[in-house]
Amino acid sequence: MKVLGIESSCDETACAIVEDGKTIISNVVATQIPFHKIYKGVVPEIASRKHAEWILPVVKQALKEANLTMDDIDAIAATNRPGLMGSLLVGFTFGKTLAWATKKPFVAVNHMLGHLYAAHLENHIQYPYLGLLVSGGHSIICKVNSFEDLEILGTTVDDSVGEAFDKVAKFYGLGYPGGVIIDNLAKKGDPKAASFPIPKLDEKEHKYDVSFSGLKTAVIHQCDMFWNEGYEHTTENMCAAFQETAVSSLVKKLLKAVDDTGIKTVVAGGGVAANSRLRAMLAERTDINCIFPPLKLCGDNGAMIAGVAYHFLSRGDRDEWNTTTCARIPQFKRGLSQVQKK
């Protein structure tokens, strides 16, 4: 089964063709970074306009690179949540219309399920496992029982880890996207230069939850207070210390979930899964099997959407033509099994 997947939840116009939920035949991503860089963050109006301009050429390019026509495509999928509403509507409406016009089955896919599935595209992974979903909008630790069934253990109580990276980078004028820039600068600095605070949440109520708002405030407004004696006040040192604190707080809660559940396989997904320190820190734990997507699949892409859609289609699921988009997903509830497709 060849599925054409479309992703446009934020600022990447993406389309991919995946066979049987595993084999990537083509994967095209048009990035809008140059258009948002001047504003040091994504401007929703610009994002949606660029999607409208690029969606048809990107889909055509995906078909061309796969050496296929629409007659060879068995089904079409598109992201319908969560994300920027204007951006979502462009890719989703295009995908749904294309499916209707070509009489193909259509499936709406939750963007979060896609990020967790990205690692499956190049790895054979058995359920259940612990998922670490980290991006600009989410920081989630969950037990993954199937491709659609997430049991949420913990999440952020305020900012996501990706948001904290981007806001620190914006405040210091480091550029956009902030996560990548801080990661690169941190490699030239010393993480021991500053001792930023890790928020202490109530263990009973927030056992696996994380918080990044206080850390962000400390780095932006109180940085000098936490500087350790004998270290030069450089941007590289600040980035290294900030990144070490942010990643350590995530890994600490994740490893607590590993110990409590006894599940030794961890799968990461989302843009922050590309962070080099996060990868290195988890690689140091030889007692767990940590699986990351390749760097090209950490960011938004159509392959992860097509991959998830294959499993819905395989059991006969189809979405109605009145299915629409939603900027958010239902509030995650810890301890409850979440089917997050619609």
State the SS3 of the chain: CEEEEEECCCCEEEEEEEECCCEEEEEEEEECHHHHHHHCCCCHHHHHHHHHHHHHHHHHHHHHHHCCCHHHCCEEEEEEECCCHHHHHHHHHHHHHHHHHHCCCEEEEEHHHHHHHHHHHCCCCCCCEEEEEECCCCEEEEEECCCCEEEEEEEECCCCHHHHHHHHHHHCCCCCCHHHHHHHHHCCCCCCCECCCCCCCCCCCCCCCECCHHHHHHHHHCHHHHECCCCCCCHHHHHHHHHHHHHHHHHHHHHHHHHHHCCCEEEEECHHHHCHHHHHHHHCCCCCEEECCCHHHCCCCHHHHHHHHHHHHHCCCCCCCCCCCCCCCCCCCCCCEEECCC
Q: What is the pLDDT of residue 330?
A: 61
Average pLDDT for residues 164-184, to the nearest whole number? 94
User: Is there a contact between 3 and 306 (Cβ–Cβ < 8 Å)?
Assistant: yes
pLDDT exceeds cutoff 90 at 335 = no
Positive or negative: CA dihedral 262, 286, 148, 342: positive
Average pLDDT for residues 133-152, to the nearest whole number? 92
Q: Which residues pair with 266 in a beta bridge?
A: 130, 290
Average pLDDT for residues 75-92, to the nearest whole number? 96
Positive or negative: CA dihedral 244, 249, 250, 253: positive
What angle is formed at CA 62 by the lines to CA 57 and CA 63, rounded to 5 degrees? Answer: 100
Q: What is the pLDDT of residue 202?
A: 82
| Structure-block tokens of residue 190 | 């010393």
State the SS3 of 115-152: HHHHHHHCCCCCCCEEEEEECCCCEEEEEECCCCEEEE
Instruction: Collect all residues with Cβ–Cβ distance below 8 Å to 280 and sequence separation of at least 6.
Output: none
Average pLDDT for residues 144-160, to the nearest whole number? 92
pLDDT exceeds cutoff 70 at 341 = no
Q: How confident is the model at residue 323 (pLDDT cuts 50, 70, 90)?
A: very high
Q: How confident is the model at residue 342 (pLDDT cuts 50, 70, 90)?
A: very low
Amino acid making up residue 241: A
Average pLDDT for residues 74-93, to the nearest whole number? 96
Q: What is the pLDDT of residue 340?
A: 44
User: Is there a contact between 238 and 248 (Cβ–Cβ < 8 Å)?
Assistant: no
Average pLDDT for residues 15-39, to the nearest whole number? 95
Tens of pLDDT, residue by residue over 96-108, are 999 999 999 999 9
Q: Which of 259, 171, 181, 173 is nearest to 215 (CA)?
A: 171
Tens of pLDDT, residue by residue over 109-124, are 999 999 999 999 999 9
User: Is there a contact between 76 and 82 (Cβ–Cβ < 8 Å)?
Assistant: no
pLDDT exceeds cutoff 50 at 283 = yes
Amino acid making up residue 339: V
User: Is there a contact between 20 and 28 (Cβ–Cβ < 8 Å)?
Assistant: no
pLDDT exceeds cutoff 90 at 137 = no
Q: How confident is the model at residue 223 (pLDDT cuts 50, 70, 90)?
A: confident
Judge if the upstream peptide bond of residue 82 is cis by omega within 30 degrees of 0: yes
Tens of pLDDT, residue by residue over 183-217, are 999 999 999 999 999 888 888 888 999 999 999 99
